[in-house]
Amino acid sequence: MSVTAFFVGVEKYNNQTRLSMDTQNFLIEMDPNRLKIDGDQVQFYGTVTQAGETLKCSEEIVVFYRLSTKEEKDYWEKQQKTASFVVIGSLMKPEKNRNLNQFDYQRYLSHNKIHWMLEATSIQAHSGPEKQTFLDLINLKNIRQTILFHIESKTTIPVSSYIKTLLFADTASIDDQVMNGYKEIGIIHLLSISGLHIQFLIAGLTYILWRVGVTREHTYILLFIFLPIYGSLTGWGTSIFRAVVMSLISQTGSRIRRPISGLDAWSYTLIIGLWIDPYQLFSIGFQLSYLLSLALILFSTSLFNQSKYSTINSLSISFVLTLISIPILSFHFFEFSWIGMFANLLFVPLFTWFIMPLMIVLFFCSYILSGTLFFQFLIHIAEYSLGMIEWLVLKIRLFPYGTIVTGKVPMVLFIVTVVVMVIFLIALEQQKKKKSSLFLLVIVFIVFIHYQKYSPFGEVLILDVGQGDATLIKEPFGKGVYLIDTGGALAFEKEEWQIRKKQSTVASRVLIPVIKSLGVTQLDQVLITHGDEDHMGELIELAQGIEIKELIFPVGTTKKQSFFDAAQSLEKSGVPLRTVSAKQSRDQLFGPSLTVLWPLDDGEGENNDSLVLYGKIGQFNWLFTGDIEEAGEAKLTALYPNLRVDILKVAHHGSQTSTSESFIQKIKPKTALISCGLNNRYNHPNEDVLKRLASLNAAVYRTDLQGSFRYTYADYLPQGLKKDFQTILK
């Protein structure tokens, strides 16, 4: 381990950048296997070989480029080989995580030794001399791309997607909904090349070689050559590396008549992998691959073969692997699927003995029997079979409570759960104290699953959703969870070729992960202040990921067509709708303890028709103002002249048209919260607004500068908790 620690230190020391933000022109060698084209966006990873006029280097970078024409897109879709490009653009530092428990893209890139993103404005093929060396002719990256294009051209889309996924670890063309289905029912590992696939290939290749008369010695040599080549063709994913290297180590031990145990082969592979890339230790793929394979090695004889019935043994394997994966999945995704324990019993044999062999046969037939009736017959069988499997996956996905949301549990509880789990597995293996260890495990798991949902602390989170609004309120002890606005962005009309299949949305990137990280599976109320896209644009996608028990909005908001369409869609799916106004809802409470102050009458869904909410949360009086403007503020203070506010959710992102001098002098907020996008084109918040707030000595929190921020409270404590907001960015 000391040697491994040394390599970790060396790797960290070497993980530095030589590029400068001032540089704008680059010579980049593109990796065709990491090229993605979606709508009008090109994204690829490549190696900077020259920056500026003089700097020679070799540093990885990720490039983003917006396509201008359909012809330009066609050009990029034909890129099959490693190529060099002259790229002009601006370097950007990967953005830090701006929300609680959000995926940290900056850390992800850093662990992959990438320090910059390049926003390209021009990309031209390098006109330098063509390389025609022997190494270029046998470049495995180019060969892989050639194979993938061949598969696409000879088979249909659904069949080619699975051939590329199961044989070459290219999951890009698998439908997102189907991929999520595999993930949610706990069988996503079947779409990753793992030890199961490698052992199947080794067994099949060995059988064929022996049948044609190849000796054992020559078979070993051929496998020793084939496996690394195959690993390179698949891109050397974590599971592939582990499976290939473990197989080579075990076979080498047998070859030199010094048998190496599975545990030793696993240990050597782990050390080699960490020497090559220590940062992969932080990858969920690495953690799951090595831990689950270790479990199979440790318990293969003592625990997985205790019954004379193979089904029971298979269920034991599935149970243990599911159990071990729960802490890891909960740590990264805040949820896990228990239904996978049973789904694996059906899908593992199906993929092992039917789908995998069929994909291999189709791959080879695409070269020798393409165009024949027999090949078309196989294609039809594959299409029908894969269609049935995907239908079944999506049906099982709908099974109620198949996925359990844990939230992000405290590290102490996480460690306790892992320790108790190990104690339980040891008890199972040794057949001692099984009942007491099971009882302890059940108790700990109940706490593990419910701690976040029923946390004794309440929270108010002002989420960073860019130039929009979203406020999440979670009451102590799971009493209720409420969302005020969803954020969103205007969707501009595009041609068909420009439309992206995989949109990065506020709901998928921020709302759903943050809500799940708090152990929340449903929102008791979603309150929309008015009908602008930046306040309600994520409603439909949010409802697809989180159950909404009631949608509340001001009267007149449905006059906005986009909101009307969203509300109708939610109502059809069973979400109750309720309109409110200060007149009709005066005595009703919303959220934890909020009353409606505005609007009085039916409006048009515009800024001055915004829902204004007031009430006490924790130790303070809060005022949520939507996008109400100066005229609305004047009417509001005229109606409520004695309104006193501790915390003001500043209206309209700090626009000059809101937060007037007379308004804040009357309500005198001690803290002001502003939601606005980083470097937004409106220059929000306005300088005059900031000066007005400063004149009151109000503490100002801004999402553009500080990311999201949260207030934590506990009503049952005499002084509550600390009064300051916790910010994501310091």
What confidence tens digit (pLDDT) does each residue in 107-137 have?
A: 999 988 999 999 999 999 887 555 555 555 5
pLDDT in tens, 76-96: 988 878 889 999 999 999 988
d(CA 517, CA 22): 38
How much is the pLDDT for 109?
A: 92
Q: Assign 207 a pLDDT band (cuts: 50, 70, 90).
A: confident
Say if CB 343 and CB 524 are below 8 A apart.
no
- Give phi and psi for 601, each to the nearest 5: -125, 175
Band (pLDDT 50/70/90 cuts) for residue 428 is confident
Q: pLDDT at position 245, please?
A: 94
Q: Indicate the domain borders of the chain.
A: 14-130, 411-450, 458-727
Model pLDDT for residues 95-111, shown as the tens digit of each residue: 888 999 998 999 999 98
Q: How open is the CA angle 423-264-415, to the nearest 5 degrees? A: 30
Residue 236 CB neighbours (<10 A): 13
> CB atoms < 10 A from the CB of 91, how many?
19
User: What percent of the chain is predicted at pLDDT more than 70?
Assistant: 94
Q: How far is CA 314 from the centre of its chain?
A: 30
Class of domain 14-130: mainly beta
Report, as an integer, the average pLDDT of 378-405.
93
Token code pair at residue 277: 């890339």
What's the confidence (pLDDT) of residue 214? 87
Contact 535, 566 (CB under 8 A): no
Query: 237 and 193 in contact (C-beta within 8 Å)?
Result: yes
- Tell me the C-alpha to C-alpha distance, in Å, between residue 455 and each of 417, 518, 713: 17, 9, 11
Q: How far apart are CA 8 and CA 2, in angstroms?
A: 10
Question: What residues form DSSP beta bridges with 553?
Answer: 579
Q: Which residues pair with 462 in a beta bridge?
A: 471, 709
Question: Which range has the worst mean pLDDT, 300-314, 335-349, 462-476?
Answer: 300-314
Which phi and psi angles does 306 have, rounded to 5°?
A: -80, -20
Token pair 């740590």 is found at 331
Please answer whether residues 636 and 611 qualify as being in contact, where contact means their C-beta atoms are separated by less than 8 angstroms: no
Query: pLDDT, tens digit, for every residue of 629-640?
Result: 999 999 999 999
- Residue 537: the pLDDT is 93
Tell me what pLDDT residue 690 has: 95
* E strand or H helix at 624: strand 620-624
632-676, pLDDT tens digit by residue?
999 999 999 989 899 999 999 999 999 999 999 999 999 999 999
Buried b (16+ CB within 10 A) or exposed e, 485-495: bbbbbeeeeee
Average pLDDT, the chain: 89
pLDDT score, position 328: 94
Interior/surface letters 592-617, b for 16+ CB within 10 angstroms, e for the rest: bebbbbbbbeebebbbbbbbbbbbeb
Give dist(CA 424, CA 497) in Å, integer.
Answer: 55
pLDDT value of residue 13? 57
Predicted pLDDT at 10: 58
**Stretch 524-529: mean pLDDT, rounded?**
96
What whole-number distance in Å separates Cα of residue 288 and Cα of residue 642? 59
Instruction: Check whether 18 has a pLDDT greater than 70.
Output: yes
pLDDT at residue number 589? 81
Q: Is the pLDDT of residue 57 over 90?
A: no
How high is the pLDDT of residue 364? 93
Yes or no: domain 458-727 corresponds to CATH 3.30.450.20? no
Candidates 574, 532, 581; CA nearest to 552 is: 581
Mean local confidence (pLDDT), 333-337? 92
What pLDDT is recorded for position 296? Answer: 87
Q: What is the pLDDT of residue 213?
A: 87
State the average pLDDT over residues 283-310.
Answer: 81
| 544 pLDDT higher than 60 | yes
Helices 340-350, 373-397: crossing angle, 10 deg rounding: 170
- The size of the chain, in residues, is 730
- Show the CA angle centred on residue 656, arms to residues 653 and 660, nearest 5°: 100
Sequence-ordered list of residues with C-beta below 8 angstroms from that of 566, at least 6 positions apart, any chain:
536, 539, 540
The Cα diameter of the chain in Å comes to: 96
Q: What is the pLDDT of residue 54?
A: 76
pLDDT score of 305: 65
For residue 89, count other CB atoms closer than 10 A to its CB.
19
